[in-house]
Amino acid sequence: MGCAGNRIIQTPNMDALAAQGVRFTQSFATAAMCPTSRVSLLTGLYPANHKIEGFFTSIPPDRYRNTHSQILRRAGYRVGFVGKWGIGTDLPKQSYDYFQGFSGQGYYWEPPNPKHLTVRQADQAIEFLNTGPKNRPFFLQVSFKAPHVQDEGRDKPGIYVKYPYDPALKQMYATDVIPMPQTRDAAPLPDFFKPSLNCTREAPDFRPQTYQEAVKDLYRLVSGLDIALGRIRQALRDMGAEDNTVIIYTADHGSIYGEHGMGGKWLMFEESIRRPTIIMDPRNSSQFRGTTRDEMVLNIDIMPTILDLAGENIPPGVQGSSLIPLATGQTRPWRDQWFYQFHNEPGAPIVPSEGIRTARWKYIRYIKTIPMYEQLFDLKVDPREQRNLAAAPEHQTQLNYFRNRWQVWRGSLDGFNLTTRWSNPA
């Protein structure tokens, strides 16, 4: 986003949202995988406790009942969903008042419809807004596919088939030169990464010969999403609801675009786990508009934030925390560390990992490598994660601390109970 420091990308509507709201600069996914992170967004639970690790498993009924949409629907809200559901094979149409979701990854183009998917999703969001009763509160989740790769394009020549933007945006970025990632030629990673999808399937798009085209196509997809956001906000203005509608802009995870000589997500590198988070509440005092907060916030915080805004009780087992105190300028104790977990589906050539992230340090444990491999990064002096300190004698005390914290976190997550109030392990 432009508001996050990118001087080339054009995101005026995202930037306006940040200027009118609060942007969280340290926002992360507890697992950088679509369905796993999406279930954390819906339930407020760490992956270890919602147990969705693949594309074909639906949310267990006891967890689904306590998703933010279902709690709001029971409270009288009209609830809608548009876009990529991406969790299991059964679409929950019956539990929404308006549902235009799809399973799997979806398609940017669906002939004979001439409209790009992002445009269609904005149309559906606006239809939801325009067809509801005026005296009933509403909750709408719009889950854009953009800028996700089009999987079916991987086996076809050319970059556009993988990142098919709306041709109306073709001239955007035509004369720009996108800087190459600083860590593209970083020190080689261990050999066990080489057969992984990060290196075999994802990395080629971001090599020097394809980098400019790939990233410009990605930027066009993001700008298309930004235009859709602007259209939705205009619809809110047209219906007279702009002054009492809260907008949360976020994502399920980030992606590696050539950094570390890789592509894709899944791994605990910063590019993969970072995600945008903006909360724009027009009722907030003007003193909080256009501000930023630097606390570490997570995808599991979105669900309790939504319930807090609606004045609904947060279920006791929810592991995230409402962001509203931070968004309204309050100073209070906040998490000083959190747990990362990615467990791939059996047989998938992806390297599973777990780890601990603090404001300064990151510990990563590749749980299935033989022998087990660890990384330790001091993000204060090495924000691009180029020097692994796990084998450095002077950092063994720090390494042992995080090994112990990993065990403590695993024990706490293993002992989780949905009906008991959650506390981060001491």
Q: pLDDT tens for residues 219-233?
A: 999 999 999 999 999
DSSP classification of residue 207:
S
267 with 354: CB under 8 angstroms? no
Give the largest CA-CA distance in the chain: 66
Domain ranges for the chain: 2-329
383 with 362: CB under 8 angstroms? no
Distance CA 239, CA 71 (A): 25
The sign one gets for the Cα dihedral 395, 397, 399, 401 is: negative
CATH 3.40.720.10 fits 2-329, yes or no: yes
Q: Look at residue 38 and tell me whether its pLDDT is greater than 80.
A: yes
- What average pLDDT does the segment 197-214 reach? 95
Q: What is the pLDDT of residues 326-374, one digit of tens each?
A: 999 988 899 999 999 999 877 789 999 999 999 999 999 999 999 999 9
How would you label 285-302 residue by residue, b for 16+ Cβ within 10 Å and e otherwise?
eeebeeeebebbbbbbbb
Angle, helix 12-20 to helix 208-238, in steps of 10 degrees: 60
pTM of the model: 0.96
Q: Residue 249's pLDDT is what?
A: 98
Q: Residue 200's pLDDT is what?
A: 95
How would you label 230-257 residue by residue, b for 16+ Cβ within 10 Å and e otherwise?
bebbebbeeeebeeebbbbbbbbbbbbb
Q: What is the pLDDT of residues 114-169, one digit of tens each?
A: 999 999 999 999 999 999 998 899 999 999 999 999 999 988 999 999 999 999 99
63 φ, ψ to 5°?
Answer: -75, -40
